[in-house]
Structures are given as structure tokens and as C-alpha cells.
């Protein structure tokens, strides 16, 4: 009996230890560092390398946020109106829209900005808030907060707040208004047009 | 005896050098200090991660690409879909009685930006180097001290009010008329930017309705009243010559725009409905600012 208790206690400790090896801040830091590493890398300095740099940045940003979760929360109850196929298309296009616009802006305006990790706050239901500040000579200090969720032993980011403006909430207002008298299909079509329009501008 | 005197002088010199070194290194290092929600103060020095380490971490992410954080089949429950959005309904359906006026003004302002402001600011940016434009911005920010000082006082934020004075004194002297910003190296001299609209909000005065001010951008009834008050506290408005007053205000605007070119474009590109995106962004930001 004693042995069983001992083993289960050891197991429990081992499990919790494993789960807490990476903190939400570590998670955000790892992704941010990967992103700035590509931005800082001198090999992309040549104008001819800019497209390659963009592709590499996209690889990082593509896997830094949980776009499916972001999409669901940005649509709220309307998510249920989407068919399975529509859901997949929507997530894909929405990923392109937010990912690519921000990527382009950052690549264009980056002047060696650094990030400072201010605070980490655990929230109920396995969630966490990581408060950071982007330090920039040119743009001043801009607070950027990340909201993360822990599930299946993994953290993932499902909302970003830039200067206290939540990305999810901002899109939620827009989607809700559009879906008031439009079908999911129309919204997807509009998203597609927007993505293509942005692509053309490049 | 002589030796002792020499020793003393040497020690004195060493101390001065040490003090100077500490001062300069304090100025050089970036320390971010933010009073967090619990009232504790956490300080974290900016870390200098070496380039190699960073590239390693980039590769690490690349290696784990297949091991994505996204569960492709995940479905949130009804409750999860709606949580954290208690105040959301209000923002969406919140009063926008001036909707048609606002959308009109949004388009007017948008066109003014692309046809007038942006071309001028782009030309100005081409001629004037970044550093000088940052100095100019610092100068005008320093000049805006009275608004921030009074707004802090009206909210009984005496610590921040004092900090505004301290910042003004330091930047006006050591920072040479406010062009430099030595105060940025002292966290306690960098209180958040306050204005009268926020002070009114703190007193419990509601936003009223949303209004898109031509050329000035998103605002609310309360914040517009605050804005008028802010102008009374703006030293530039006390310049006697009208021509000088308006030229200086215009110059300040062009300088600010020149440092933020691309931001507005990015917001527009990312939005499906730019007007709603800007309106919601403004309301979210202001609510947080008032609450702080």
C-alpha cells in the first residue's frame, strides 16, 4: 500500500513538473525571439532577399498563434452557422489576413525593436496573460499583451492586445455587423477579396 | 603627509569616475518598470540575447513546425465562444446615433490623410532625418505638460502629477528645451499620458455617443469636451500671432504623422470594415485608459 502511495505521489510530482516546465512567458519569448532573429539576420539585408525573409517570417508567425481558436472567438455564436468546409476556409483566409498584414507592417517598419516581459498572470480555466512592452526609439513604448491557453500540455496564443485593444474583440464587432444580414458564404467571399487586394498591393 | 594627500585625491577622483560611470550606465540601460495590477512593481532589464542564440531559437521553432499548437478539429463550447465578452454587446450595439455623419467624416478624414497629409509628411520625412523628427516630437510632448499635470491633479493622482513636473524640469534643462528625453531612463518619470477626457471619465461621466471628428479622428462626446479643455491648457494656443500659432500646430501634426506613416494603412488593410474597426479600437483603448 505504502509503495503504491509513494509511486503515485512521485508520478504526480513528475507530471506537474513536466507541465510547468514551460511558462507562458517562456512560450511568448521563444516565438518572439524566433521572429526577431529573422528580422535581425544580416543575410536578409539585400533587397532581393526580402521575399525570402517574408516567407521565413511567415513560417514563424503561422505557428505562433492559434488561429482556429482566434477565429472561433472572433465569430462567437456565429461560428455555429458555418459548415465544416466553411470553417476551414474561414480559418485559412482569416489567418492570411491578420498574419500577412501584420507581417508586412513589421518587416517594413522594424528598426531593431526589443521586447520587455513585464508580467505574467495566471487566469482561471488554464489561461494566462503575458504583459510585454515593445521598446522603440521611433514609436515610443507600446504595450502588447498576449492571452494564452493551456491544453493538452501545450500553450497557445488566442488573443493579442496592442495598446489595450483586443484583436479578437475588434474583429468580433466587424464580423457580427456583417453577419447580421449576410450569410457565412458572403463573409468568406469578402475575406477572400480583401486578402487578394492586399496581396496585389505588395 | 604628502603621500596621504595624494592618496586622498586619487580616491576622490576614483569616486567621481565611479559615480559618473554609474550615472551613464544607468542612462544607457533600458529599464522598464510598470506598476502592475496587484500594485507590486516588477522590474526586468532588457536582455541581450546573442544573435546565435536567437537563430538557434528560430531553428527550434522551424523544427517543431509539424508539431503545431493548433488542434485542427477543436470546437469551443457555447459558453467558451461567448466568455470574456460581457461588455461586448454594449460596444457593438452601443449608441452610434451619429452613424451617417461619422462615416461621412471618416471618409473625409481618410481622403485628407491620403491626399494632403501623407504626401507632405512623406516629403518631410525624406528631408529630415529620424533623429531630428524624434527631437521635435519630444519638444512638443514636453510642451504638453500642463494638460497632463492638470488631468492628473483632477484624478487625485498626485504621484503622477509630481512626476510630470519632474519630467518637465529634467527634459527642459538637461534635455535642452525638451528636445532630448533624458527622463525616459527613469521609470518613475514616465507616468501614463493623461488628458481631461480621462479625468471626466474617472469622475463617472459617461462617454456619451461616439463621434468621428473631421481631421482629428475618433472621439466621444465626453472626450470632445475634454479635447476643447485640453486646448485651453496647450501653451501653443497662447501665441499671439495667429499665423505662427497655426503654422506651429500644423508643423507638429506633420511631424507626428511622419513618424507614424504606415500605421493607419495597416489598420485599414487588416480590417473588413475600417470604420467599425477604428471605432471599436478607440472605445476599447479609452475604456482601459479611464480605468487605469
Q: Measured between CB atoms, which of A72, A166, A169 is closest to B76?
A: A72
In chain B, % of residues over pLDDT 90 = 51
Confidence bin at B187 (pLDDT 50/70/90): confident
**ipTM of predicted assembly, 2 dp:** 0.84
Distance between CA B184 and CA B191 in Å, rounded?
Answer: 10
Q: Tell me whether A189 touches chain B (CB under 8 Å).
A: no
Q: What residue segments make up the domains of chain A, in order of their start? A: 24-201
Of B226, B241, B225, the closest CA to residue B193 belongs to B226
Which letter, b or e, does each residue of B264-288 get, where b requires 16 or more Cβ atoms within 10 Å of its Cβ? bbbbebbbbbbbbbbbbbbbbbbbe
List chain B domain ranges: 95-127+195-233+262-292
DSSP 8-state symbol, B43: E
Q: What's the pLDDT score for residue B22? A: 41
Does residue B147 carry a pLDDT above 50? yes
A66 near B CB under 8 A:
yes
User: Is the model's pLDDT at B124 over the cut of 90?
Assistant: yes
Condensed to tens digits (0 to 9), the pLDDT of residues B32-83 reads 333 333 333 333 334 444 555 555 555 555 555 444 556 667 777 777 777 7
Q: Do B272 and A102 touch (CB under 8 A)?
A: no
Closest Cβ opposite residue A108 in set B134, B260, B262: B262
- The pLDDT value recorded for residue B88 is 54
- Is residue B12 predicted with pLDDT exceeding 80? no
Give me the percent of chain B exceeding a pLDDT of 70: 71
Q: CB-based contact (8 Å) between B242 and chain A?
A: no
Q: Inform me whether the pLDDT recorded for B186 exceeds 50.
A: yes
Q: Is the separation of the CB atoms in B272 and A194 below 8 Å?
A: yes
SS3 B39: coil
Note the pLDDT of residue B25.
Answer: 39
| Number of cross-chain residue pairs from A and B with Cβ atoms under 8 Å apart | 165
pLDDT at B94 over 70: no
Does residue B86 register a pLDDT over 50? Answer: yes
Architecture of the CATH domain A24-201: Roll (3.10)
- CB-CB neighbours of A107 under 10 Å: 15
pLDDT at B31 over 50: no
Taking every pair of Cα atoms in chain A, the longest distance, rounded to a whole number of angstroms, is 70
How far, in Å, CA of B171 to CA of B166, rounded?
A: 8
Q: Could you give the C-alpha distances from B104 to A15, A198, B20, B91, B217, in angstroms and in order?
A: 59, 24, 58, 20, 12
Q: Please tell me which of the candidates B60, B81, B284 has its beta carbon nearest to residue A79.
A: B81
Higher pLDDT, B245 or B49: B245
Per DSSP, the three-state class of A147 is strand
- The mean of the pLDDT values for chain B is 79
Report the alpha-carbon distance of residue B25 to residue B19 in Å, rounded.
10
Whether A61 and A103 have beta carbons less than 8 Å apart is answered as yes
pLDDT, tens digit, 9 for 90 and up, residues A56-93: 888 888 888 889 999 999 998 899 999 989 999 999 99
Cα dihedral B86, B88, B93, B94 in deg (nearest 10): 90
Least confident of B82-86, B145-149, B156-160, B229-233: B82-86
Backbone angles phi, psi at A120, to 5 degrees: -125, 130
Amino acid A110: pLDDT: 87
Is B284's CB within 8 Å of A165's CB? yes
Extract the residue ranges of chain A whose pLDDT is less than 70: 1-21, 202
- Sort out which chain B residues have CB atoms less than 8 A from A36's CB and list them: 54
- Range with the lowest mean pLDDT among B44-48, B203-207, B220-224, B262-266? B44-48
Subunit contact B85:A76, Cβ cutoff 8 A? yes
Please identify which residue in the block is written with the cell numbers 516588477.
B42
Q: What is residue B274's predicted lDDT score, i.e. its pLDDT? A: 94
Amino acid at each position: 500500500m505504502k509503495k503504491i502511495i509513494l509511486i503515485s505521489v512521485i508520478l504526480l510530482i513528475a507530471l506537474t513538473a513536466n507541465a510547468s516546465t514551460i511558462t507562458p512567458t517562456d512560450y511568448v519569448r521563444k516565438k518572439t525571439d524566433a521572429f526577431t532573429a529573422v528580422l535581425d539576420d544580416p543575410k536578409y539585408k539585400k533587397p532581393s532577399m526580402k521575399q525570402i525573409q517574408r516567407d521565413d517570417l511567415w513560417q514563424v508567425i503561422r505557428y505562433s498563434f492559434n488561429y482556429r481558436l482566434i477565429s472561433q472567438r472572433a465569430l462567437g455564436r456565429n461560428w455555429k452557422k458555418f459548415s465544416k468546409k466553411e470553417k476551414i476556409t474561414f480559418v485559412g483566409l482569416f489567418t492570411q489576413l491578420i498574419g500577412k498584414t501584420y507581417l508586412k507592417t513589421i518587416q517594413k517598419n522594424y528598426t531593431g525593436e526589443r521586447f520587455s516581459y513585464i508580467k505574467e498572470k495566471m487566469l482561471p480555466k488554464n489561461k494566462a496573460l503575458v504583459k510585454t512592452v515593445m521598446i522603440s526609439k521611433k514609436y515610443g513604448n507600446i504595450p502588447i499583451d498576449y492571452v494564452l491557453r493551456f491544453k493538452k500540455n501545450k500553450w497557445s496564443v488566442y488573443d493579442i492586445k496592442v495598446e489595450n485593444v483586443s484583436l479578437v474583440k475588434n474583429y468580433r464587432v466587424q464580423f457580427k455587423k456583417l453577419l447580421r444580414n449576410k450569410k457565412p458564404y458572403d463573409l468568406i467571399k469578402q475575406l477572400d477579396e480583401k486578402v487578394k487586394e492586399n496581396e496585389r498591393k505588395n | 603627509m604628502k603621500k596621504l594627500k595624494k592618496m586622498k585625491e586619487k580616491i576622490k577622483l576614483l569616486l567621481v569616475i565611479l559615480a559618473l560611470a554609474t550615472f551613464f550606465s544607468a542612462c544607457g540601460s533600458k529599464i522598464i518598470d510598470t506598476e502592475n495590477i496587484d500594485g507590486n512593481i516588477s522590474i526586468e532589464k532588457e536582455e541581450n540575447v546573442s544573435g546565435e542564440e536567437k537563430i538557434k531559437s528560430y531553428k527550434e521553432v522551424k523544427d517543431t513546425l509539424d508539431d503545431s499548437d493548433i488542434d485542427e478539429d477543436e470546437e469551443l463550447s457555447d459558453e467558451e465562444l461567448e466568455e470574456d465578452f460581457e461588455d461586448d454587446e454594449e460596444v457593438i450595439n452601443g449608441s452610434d446615433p451619429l452613424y451617417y455623419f461619422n462615416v461621412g467624416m471618416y471618409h473625409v478624414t481618410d481622403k485628407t490623410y491620403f491626399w494632403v497629409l501623407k504626401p507632405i509628411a512623406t516629403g518631410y520625412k525624406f528631408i529630415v532625418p529620424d533623429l531630428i523628427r524624434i527631437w521635435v516630437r519630444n519638444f512638443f510632448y514636453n510642451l504638453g505638460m500642463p494638460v497632463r499635470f492638470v488631468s492628473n491633479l483632477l484624478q487625485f493622482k498626485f504621484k503622477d502629477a509630481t512626476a510630470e513636473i519632474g519630467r518637465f524640469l529634467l527634459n527642459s534643462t538637461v534635455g535642452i528645451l525638451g528636445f532630448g528625453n533624458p527622463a525616459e531612463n527613469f521609470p518613475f518619470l514616465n507616468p501614463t499620458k493623461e488628458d481631461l477626457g480621462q479625468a471626466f471619465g474617472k469622475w463617472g461621466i459617461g462617454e456619451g455617443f461616439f463621434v468621428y471628428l473631421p481631421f482629428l479622428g475618433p472621439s466621444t462626446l465626453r472626450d470632445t469636451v475634454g479635447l476643447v479643455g485640453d486646448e485651453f491648457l496647450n501653451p501653443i494656443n497662447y501665441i499671439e500671432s495667429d499665423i505662427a500659432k497655426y503654422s506651429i500646430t500644423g508643423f507638429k501634426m506633420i511631424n507626428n504623422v511622419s513618424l507614424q506613416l504606415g500605421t493607419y494603412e495597416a489598420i485599414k488593410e487588416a480590417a473588413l470594415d475600417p470604420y467599425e474597426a477604428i471605432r471599436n479600437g478607440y472605445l476599447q483603448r479609452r475604456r482601459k485608459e479611464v480605468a487605469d
